[in-house]
Copies of this chain bind each other. A is one copy, B any other.
Amino acid sequence: MSSHKLCMIPGPIEFHDDVLQAMATPATSHVAPNFIPILGESIEMLRQVLFTSGQPFIISGSGTLGWDMTACNLIEAGEDVLVCNSGYFGDRFGECLETYGAKVTHHRVPVGEAPNPSAVAELLKTKKFKAITITHVDTSTGVLADIKAVAEAVKKVSPDTLVVVDGVCSVGSEEIRMDAWGVDVVLTASQKALGAPPGLSIMAVSERAIGVFKARKTPIPNYYANWTRWLPIMNAYEARKPSYFATPAVQNVFALHTSLKQIVAQGLEARFAAHKEASKKVKQACADLGLKLVPTGLGHAANGMTAVYYPEGVVATDLLPKMAAHGVVAAGGLHVDIAPKYFRLGHMGISTDPARPDVDATINALKESLAEIKAAKN
């Protein structure tokens, strides 16, 4: 498709042809023998991707729905939650938690910085927190949180606190070892490094968190997001039995299944390495162009995306349409404090394959667009 522009935003990302083909699977009943194993195997493969024996959920909805599922199933009104807030998505997750009655304390860090495990430890000493949430990669800043270090701090200071990771922009691109690191919830969506089109809210929940959920004292204040209804469905599909609560997004699940098979076949270690390699290339190119990253250090910059300030005198309306004219779609700023000052590039999933031109094409589009802007000003 010659008119197709490379989608190099931090999600949705470029899809493999086989994934698109799966999206076009002809009409199939959600309880048909050819669909049941597709959802069942997807649940199983998610465990491999997240290194967990916990319970995956694959549900029709946006990634945002994962916030509701976490809040309404695990938190009871009046309970305290600590939100590690590195940008837009920390603010929003906090709002969602408050909707369900949580008392939210924010561990806010300056734009471009990552949550501080020592500061988290100090905050955890101030009161009993039911859960702590961490945005693994804040899509608004490109900051990568050290969830392993934060989870360790939690374990030392407040071991009962549930560790919740918003992995919307990290699952499939950044290392997550749920069980080994003591992470209780990872929530994500289909359209980022899991390599499928948007439309699926995806989670994995530790046995411990499922226990906390089952032991809750108050009713769950949500119908669609209630795990009581979804647990038997997920168990049934995994046991290869038909079951019904709400019609799953059959074609999207076929697409996710196709992408998960590719991810598992590639191997997670190789996948993490490929994302690091692509990221290094993009960030080096930005440095060579004299551009400054939003993350304040490379040690806490995401490997699946890059958030970078415009050079002096360049704005979104200059750069983004020029890049699009060069065949590459990049994203504008999202963090309210700096939105007009920076832009974002995604480099996830198949775009990290060195055999594909995506990363080089993106770097070239950026270089040429900046050169054109400079030339026009002279």
Q: How far is the CB of A324 from chain B (nearest CB, A)?
A: 8
User: How does the 8 Å CB contact mask read for A216-250 relative to B, with 1 for contact and 0 for none?
Assistant: 00011111111000000000000000001111111
| Complex interface: chain B residues within 8 A of A12 (CB) | 27-30, 247, 250
Q: Does A327 contact B (CB under 8 A)?
A: no
User: Is A178 an interface position by the 8 A CB rule?
Assistant: no
CB–CB B223/A64 < 8 A: yes
Shortest CB distance A198–B (Å):
5
Q: Chain B residues near A221: list those with CB within 8 A.
A: 99-100, 221-222
**Of listed A28, A31, A222, residue having the most chain B CB within 10 A:** A222
Question: With A and B bound together, what is the CA distance between A15 and B254 in angstroms?
Answer: 16
A15-B27 contact, Cβ under 8 Å, with A62-B248, A199-B60, A199-B249? yes
Beyond A12-B247, A223-B68, A247-B191, whether A23 also contacts B26 by CB under 8 A is: no
Inter-chain contact A67/B198, CB cutoff 8 Å: no
Kindly identify which residue among B26, B96, B247 contacts A189, using a CB–CB cutoff of 8 Å.
Answer: B247
Task: Tell me the residues in window 48-80 of chain A with beta carbons closer than 8 Å to chain B beta carbons.
Answer: 59-65, 67-68, 71
Main secondary structure of the interface of A (DSSP, over half): loop
Kindly identify which residue among B13, B29, B246, B250 contacts A197, using a CB–CB cutoff of 8 Å: B250
By a CB distance below 8 angstroms, the chain B residues around A68 are 222-225
Q: Within the complex, which residue of B7, B249, B334 is in contact with A249, where a contact is CB–CB below 8 Å?
A: B249
Is A166 at the interface (CB under 8 A from chain B)? Answer: no
3-32 of chain A: CB within 8 A of chain B: 4, 7, 9, 11-15, 20-21, 23-32
Kindly state whether residue A331 has any CB partner on chain B within 8 Å.
yes
User: Contacts A198-B247, A248-B62 known; A224 to B67 CB distance under 8 Å?
Assistant: yes
**Shortest Cβ distance from residue A323 to the other chain B in the assembled complex, whole angstroms:** 12
Pick 27 A–B contacts, CB within 8 A, sort by A: A9-B29, A12-B30, A14-B26, A20-B24, A21-B24, A60-B61, A60-B62, A60-B199, A61-B65, A62-B248, A62-B249, A63-B246, A64-B223, A64-B224, A64-B246, A96-B223, A96-B224, A99-B220, A100-B221, A100-B223, A197-B249, A198-B247, A198-B251, A199-B251, A221-B221, A244-B334, A251-B252
A1-B26, A62-B249, A63-B246 known, 16 other contacts, Cβ within 8 Å = A12-B28, A12-B29, A12-B30, A12-B247, A13-B27, A21-B24, A23-B251, A60-B199, A61-B65, A62-B248, A67-B224, A96-B224, A100-B221, A199-B252, A221-B221, A224-B225
